[in-house]
């Protein structure tokens, strides 16, 4: 009975040490890290959650095994189990940490790779593969033949999953080339448009403004012609066509319109206050003189509200200034019109009017 006191004490002591470390020391270290400029320290502590307690317990269990007189075969088996559990939890920690760092780096770095589930899962898969190889090596299984077998079998896998691999490589190409990334607003040549929410190993998800989802296979998107409204920059200039009467004073029209446009840029959310709006007269239309107003917005979606407010305020200001926005009309003039004479074929009399 006495021989089990020390092993039990080591196990219970390791559990107590793990709890104290997580409850006190880990929190102290987190507070110290918060005072520094260390990038992504919260991700490390989040990935470490409960892992340190398991590692302390495994350490105490390993130490307890060394103090218990067991058969060599049983002792070796238990030590391998402890090593496997440790490697497994370490792999989970590293996989989560690597995936979260990739996402955080993509969100914070303008020039880095964009954050997406495809990149996140690819990094996690790579860490898991190395972790599995380490576990196999800990079990005494030679990994060299396994690697060679995987190399030979990859050809068969590539042939069997051509479509899946094509989407996978197309997704990686889209991410690495930075042609499109999550939160970009794109429009396909087929007419679909919306915000890119994610790029997975198989498809790209686009969220339309009515809150519908469009699923596009990565290989189709990589070979498609599409317009990205967030490249090379989110800010864009959009146009509003306007027409005024031929009787209008064009200098007054320009001044009034620019005043309204500048007011919209400064006061409406989505407008760029530093931008100076301008207008360009385009043509003498059938019933109006047409021109275009150029406004700048923070991103593509903002044009709806900015355009809405601009049209409302411009219409109100034109009415106050007595400026006419003409209706579509057409006037036909007849020069020296003479009513033709028409004879009645039965009586031979000349008709005096069209109603005769």
pLDDT digits (tens, 9 = 90+) for 85-135: 888 888 888 888 887 777 776 666 555 555 566 677 778 888 888 888 788
What pLDDT band is residue 61 in, cutting at 50, 70 and 90? Answer: confident
Give the pLDDT score at 275.
93
* pLDDT tops 60 at residue 42: yes
Say which residue, 9 or 161, is predicted with more confidence: 9
The closest of 172, 183, 174, 176 to 230, measured between CA atoms, is 183
Concatenated DSSP letters for 252-310?
Answer: HHHHHHHHHHHHHHHHSTTB-TT---EEEEEEE-SSSEEEEEEEEESSGGGHHHHHHHH
Name the more confident of 207 and 162: 207
Which DSSP helix (H) or strand (E) runs through 228? strand 226-228
Q: What is the mean pLDDT of residues 55-77?
A: 83
**Confidence class of residue 356 from pLDDT cuts 50, 70 and 90?**
very low
Contacts (Cβ under 8 Å, ≥6 apart) of 110: none
Alpha helices in the chain (DSSP H): 5-20, 26-34, 41-47, 51-67, 72-108, 117-138, 144-160, 162-177, 218-223, 250-267, 303-321
For residue 163, the model assigns a pLDDT of: 74
Residue 107 CA to residue 99 CA, distance in Å, equals 13
What is the pLDDT, as a whole number, of residue 264?
A: 94
The answer on pLDDT for 1 being more than 90 is no
Q: What percent of the chain has pLDDT over 90?
A: 26
Q: Which residues of 30-50 are buried (b: 16+ CB within 10 A; e: fewer)?
A: eeeeeeeeeeeeebbeebbee
User: Quick one: pLDDT band at residue 76, thresholds 50, 70, 90?
Assistant: confident
Contact 7, 69 (CB under 8 A): no
pTM metric for this prediction: 0.57
Q: State the chain's mean pLDDT as an integer.
A: 81
pLDDT at 354: 47
């Amino acid at each position: 009975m006495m021989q089990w006191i020390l092993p039990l004490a080591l196990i219970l002591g390791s559990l107590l040490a793990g709890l104290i470390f997580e409850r006190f020391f880990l929190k102290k270290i987190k507070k110290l890290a918060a005072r520094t400029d260390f990038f992504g320290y919260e991700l490390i502590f989040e990935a470490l959650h409960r892992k340190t307690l398991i590692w302390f317990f495994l350490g105490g269990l390993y130490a307890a095994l060394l103090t218990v007189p067991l058969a060599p075969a049983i002792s070796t088996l238990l030590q391998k189990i402890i090593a496997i559990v440790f490697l497994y939890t370490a792999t989970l920690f590293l996989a989560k940490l690597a995936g979260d760092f990739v996402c955080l780096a993509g969100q914070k770095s303008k020039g880095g790779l964009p954050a997406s589930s495809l990149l996140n899962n690819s990094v996690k898969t790579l860490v898991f593969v190395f972790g599995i190889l380490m576990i196999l090596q800990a079990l005494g299984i030679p990994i060299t033949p396994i690697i060679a077998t995987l190399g030979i079998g990859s050809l068969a896998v590539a042939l069997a999953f051509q479509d899946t691999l094509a989407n996978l490589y197309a997704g990686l190409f889209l991410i690495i080339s930075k042609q499109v990334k999550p939160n970009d607003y794109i429009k396909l040549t087929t007419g679909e448009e919306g915000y890119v929410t994610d790029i997975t190993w198989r498809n790209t998800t686009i969220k339309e403004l009515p809150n519908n989802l469009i699923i596009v296979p990565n290989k189709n998107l990589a070979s498609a012609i599409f317009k990205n409204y967030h490249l090379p920059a989110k800010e864009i200039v959009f146009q509003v066509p306007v027409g005024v009467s031929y009787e209008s004073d064009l200098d007054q029209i320009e001044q009034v319109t620019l005043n309204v446009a500048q007011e919209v840029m400064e006061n409406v959310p989505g407008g760029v206050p530093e931008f100076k709006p301008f207008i360009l007269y385009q043509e003498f239309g059938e019933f109006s003189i047409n021109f275009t107003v150029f406004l700048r917005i923070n991103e593509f979606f903002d044009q709806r509200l900015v355009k809405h407010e601009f049209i409302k305020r411009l219409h109100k200001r034109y009415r106050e200034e007595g400026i006419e926005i003409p209706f579509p009309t057409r006037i036909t003039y007849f020069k020296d019109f003479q009513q033709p004479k028409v004879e009645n074929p039965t009586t031979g009399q000349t008709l005096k009017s069209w109603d005769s």
